[in-house]
């Protein structure tokens, strides 16, 4: 019952706040629409009938808001443009969109974009981009996850080849024991590990924007694991770059 509503003289070694102050300091998480704008591109549609030359970028807004006239950036390509119009099928004309809406957008400039890229607003915090990241991973596959085997990762609308680069530690969920010298992640294990993709992808950290930090791992056409990204690894090379260097060394 000590340190609940005031600091206790019976615990002079404790220099922190009492429980009531800590509870009062909690901050409510921001609404999705109040977070930075994120729209993973699901597809790009091109119309040709009746001289309709619109190229519509389609997807669902995961967080934030945007409006006609906003400058936007696409990641990881870093291509820029401005929202020209907001399109919808059998919907009233609108000039703004927000989190939770599936929508289509046209741009003032014609860009070559790929499904899986993430649209953001130019004046807001940008997502992380890279090919190596640290994550918390829960493995469900019948076969263990091992190094140097190619898997597929699906994050938002992006899908890319991925490899297990390093295992930091593994938690055995049945016994709640932690191991740091394992060379594979077994079924029902929870692991902190480094994953490496063939090409750079765009993502956020789970502590910042949860919706674009979650991913699943696919093995032999089945979902074998899932996780959240907790840290970007800056000095990692893409898997393709590593394979090229290895090939040159052999030559």
Q: What is the pLDDT of residues 18-28, one digit of tens each?
A: 999 999 998 88
CA proximity to 165, closest of 187, 134, 136: 134
Q: State both tokens at 233.
A: 């690894």
> Measuring CA to CA, how many Å separate 45 from each of 56, 90, 113, 186?
5, 17, 11, 42
Query: Residue 181 has what pLDDT?
Result: 83
**Environment class of 171 (CB within 10 Å of its CB; exposed 0-12, middle 13-18, buried 19+):** middle
DSSP letters, the chain, are -TTSSS--TT-TT--S--HHHHHHT--PPPPGGGSPPBEEEEEEEE--GGG---EEEEEE--BSEEETT-EEEEETTTEEEEEEEEE-SS---BSEEETT-EEEEEESS-----TT-EEEETTSPPPEEEEEEEEEEEE--SSPEEBT--EEEEETTEEEEEEEEEEEEEEETTTTEEESS-SEE-TTEEEEEEEEEEEEEEE--TTT-GGGTEEEEEETTEEEEEEEEEEE-TTPPPHHHHHHHHHHHH-
Query: How many angstroms separate the CA atoms of 135 and 208, rounded?
Result: 14
**Rounded alpha-carbon distances, angstroms, from residue 29 to 17, 35, 96, 122, 210:** 22, 10, 23, 23, 11
Give the pLDDT of residue 201: 96
Which stretches in the chain have pLDDT values below 70? 235-251
pTM of the model as a whole: 0.82
Q: What is the pLDDT of residue 204?
A: 98
């Amino acid at each position: 019952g000590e340190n609940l509503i005031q600091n206790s003289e019976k615990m002079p070694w404790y220099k922190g706040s009492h429980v009531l102050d800590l509870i009062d300091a909690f901050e409510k998480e921001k609404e999705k629409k109040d977070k930075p704008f994120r729209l993973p591109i699901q597809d790009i549609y091109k119309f040709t009938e009746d001289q309709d030359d619109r190229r519509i970028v389609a997807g669902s807004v995961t967080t934030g808001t945007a409006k006609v006239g906003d400058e936007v950036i696409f990641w990881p390509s870093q291509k820029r443009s401005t929202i020209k119009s907001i399109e919808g099928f059998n919907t009233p004309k609108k000039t703004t969109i927000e989190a939770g809406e599936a929508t289509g957008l046209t741009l003032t400039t014609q860009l070559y974009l790929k499904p899986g890229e993430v649209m953001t607003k130019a004046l807001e915090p940008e997502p992380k981009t890279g090919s190596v990241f640290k994550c918390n991973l829960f493995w469900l596959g019948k076969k263990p996850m091992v190094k140097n085997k190619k898997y597929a990762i699906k994050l938002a609308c992006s899908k890319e080849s991925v490899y297990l680069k390093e295992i930091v530690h593994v938690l055995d969920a049945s016994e709640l024991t932690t191991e740091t010298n394992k060379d594979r992640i077994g079924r029902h294990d929870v692991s902190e590990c480094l994953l490496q993709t063939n090409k750079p992808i765009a993502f956020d950290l789970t502590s910042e924007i949860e919706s674009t930090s979650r991913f699943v791992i696919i093995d032999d056409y089945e979902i074998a694991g899932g996780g959240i990204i907790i840290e970007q690894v800056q000095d990692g090379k893409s898997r393709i770059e590593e394979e090229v260097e290895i090939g040159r060394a052999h030559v």
